[in-house]
Copies of this chain bind each other. A is one copy, B any other.
């Protein structure tokens, strides 16, 4: 029994039912009434504009003109929701519901309406005929709600528009919620996606003691949009084998075919659900008692006809149980009287008069199936994670920071230093923070965290394994999809986290990123949705340092992808050394409702700023590096050398040191950009600079040579409206990649120190002729560096040994 601090209520999670008596017929009738009510509301949302209780004969005018909803998956979702209501209410089991199948919106909305949550959150959708009219009308209607579960949908953390993430979201929700049951309905369409196919293996990463339980319910309704599904068309023995191979004990419930009485199906499903929850209770109990074996978690396979309970045949075509029931089984209910009557009799088949009272309120028989208050799956605070979120207890970065006496005076690997700080973050936040990585945590040099935690792993171990444990803060599976999905589920239920990934391969989750950004967009507009922790990406092993992996591992384009999304939710940071990485990370781990993309290096490189300077520079987001330039107080510089990213900053500073030595009269300003969004206008992005601020840093008319971490055109896209844009010359990654040394890579893309000196000469009026000799020297230096690399397979000592002149 667990005490719930929020409302003083108690839950008795993981109770066994305590009897083998069949479920009472009264309960079954109640479940059936809920199911009919939910089905009725699902059909009503898709079809009706008016007359929601069918008090009058249905007329064409009551029907929507454009029918933009999906019926096919609704009856299965409604069945599951109804039965879960019974068991979680009986057992006082904290639970949440995640609907995987596409277009499950009508069902989830129907359930939220039936248990009263919907009207509580949206009082204009009251439990009256007028409220119900609004409820029906708004669905998939301009200005209304979408046909997928969405941020607007109470009880949801999962959109279900793009398919495949239901199980990874469910496991993310279950981590560190030991008393929570997460019921996850997997559609047999989405089951064909890659991300879903591997997410079954999440059960090797869940701790039966400290984590909650995911109950997968594979709903075989047999069809996708226009095709049968694979899992519905393999022999049952093969499907069972597959699910056992995934590590589950499957329980099959099949019914509703050939117009079978639904009451029969209810009885079977109710019995199975009790057995399954008893199994889970037993596993939990054994684990609590110290059994450390990996449990074989139960799951359910529910096979029912697609669009079950809709008209069997319409216009001579078999509809129920086929893909014709996927969207709107009855394509038009306004065109003929016959079609209007078909819709009416379909809706009346649910006997709405038994389900809603004369005012339109849900009758007690239905309402009382669900638990009360926050125990309702549509009202659980877990699905509105901001309610449960607590601030991270963050250590000061100073202890972890690198002490530097002079700019560039010490070398450090940025992510390694971050790792030390994260160690303390984990120590202080033992149950609310996790790191997710696709087998790259050590490669990305964050292994210091193993001082205080381990990788969570519940598959087999053998002697010699390192840093594996039943419970731990590090989640590693070789699947970016899993990392992203788990983290999203973890964040949306009120916790904090970090996803560290090779820069190039974060594109694997481009589309998941899109969906999360859109989710945040939507939820920010809803006052009842409380802010959740930001999704933080730490991208390293980046384009400039994929020495041995080569071209396939070189792609800095995730930033380009990210900045297409709504500015409100997007932040991009390019810390250029260990201390700026710490400062940026400290900020990001405190932020909410954003997506922070941090790109940083993992290799040894100079540390340029002390902690205070780093923090101040990162707070500004961009600014002049005072130690680096040669501009004289009160005068405008001749040239601005700008940089963003660790490698471009190093090359820029090396170029500036050459310029200062060789053209001492040249007044050079060095600008570094950490917060890329500062380049945008203040009317484009919350972090955007005003034109006056921008001009004060970049000038309005001086040449700017900008060395940028990624594709150079992004800088143009961010600044094309700025004064002096014609004077901006950007160097970056030109998709010239291969297996080679770090300096050869920058030379290949002409962002090396020698090329930058040439750019400075070429772009600054008056330098070209005077310094033709220096320019030639630079070209010669490139040739020499190249030759050295080709001969020895490593960069020349004068390159790797270069130090900022003020040092040493």
Q: Which residues of chain A have a CB within 8 Å of any CB of chain B?
A: 49, 64-66, 68-69, 140-148, 150, 159, 161-164, 189-190, 192-199, 201, 204, 224-230, 233-235, 238-247, 318, 322, 439-443, 455, 457, 459-462, 464-466, 468, 476-482, 504-505, 507-508, 510-511, 514-515, 518, 521-522, 547-553, 555, 557, 560-561, 564-566, 711, 713-714, 716-717, 720, 725, 735, 737-741, 744, 789-790, 792-794
Contacts and interface: CB of A to CB of B under 8 A. Distances in A.
A17 to B, nearest CB: 29
A241 B230 contact: no
Contacts of A477: 192, 230
Contacts of A69: 548
Given A510-B561, A793-B64, A739 B140 contact: yes
Given A245-B245, A478-B224, A161 B234 contact: no
A234 B739 contact: no
Nearest to A204: B230
A466 B318 CA distance: 12
A505 B162 contact: yes
A59 to B, nearest CB: 16
Contacts of A243: 245
A193 B478 contact: yes
B162 A793 contact: no
B553 A161 contact: yes
This chain: copies in complex: 2
Contacts of A460: 228, 233-235
A552 B521 CA distance: 11
Contact of A717 (B159, B518, B717): B717
Contacts of A65: 792-794
Contacts of A565: 735
A311 to B, nearest CB: 15
A795 to B, nearest CB: 9
Given A225-B439, A241-B241, A479-B193, A515 B552 contact: yes
A173 B127 CA distance: 59
A66 B140 CA distance: 60
A622 B142 CA distance: 35
8 contacts: A66-B793, A142-B789, A227-B439, A239-B245, A322-B464, A504-B514, A507-B510, A507-B561
Contact of A720 (B189, B455, B720, B738): B720
Contacts of A476: 226-227
* A140, A142, A145, A193: most-surrounded residue (chain B CB, <10 A): A142
Contacts of A711: 564
Given A507-B510, A515-B552, 19 more contacts: A143-B790, A146-B552, A148-B549, A162-B553, A190-B478, A194-B198, A194-B199, A194-B482, A224-B478, A227-B457, A228-B457, A228-B462, A234-B247, A242-B245, A505-B511, A510-B561, A514-B555, A518-B552, A560-B564
Contacts of A142: 738-741, 744, 789-790, 793
A230 B69 CA distance: 40
Contacts of A240: 245
Contacts of A459: 228, 230, 233-234
Nearest to A515: B552
Given A226-B441, A238-B245, A550 B793 contact: no
Contact of A193 (B164, B194, B228, B714): B194
A708 to B, nearest CB: 13
Contact of A227 (B201, B318, B455, B510): B455
A539 to B, nearest CB: 13
A564 B557 contact: yes
A196 B193 contact: no
Ranked nearest first, the 6 interchain pairs of A and B with the lowest CB-CB distance are A242-B245, A194-B194, A161-B552, A68-B548, A197-B198, A197-B197
* A199, A504, A511: most-surrounded residue (chain B CB, <10 A): A511
Nearest to A148: B552
A195 B508 CA distance: 10
Nearest to A725: B720
A803 B64 CA distance: 26
B550 A146 contact: yes
A793 B66 CA distance: 7
A742 to B, nearest CB: 11
A183 B120 CA distance: 60
A741 to B, nearest CB: 6
Contacts of A514: 504, 507, 555, 557
A195 B194 contact: yes
A439 to B, nearest CB: 4
A64 B547 CA distance: 14
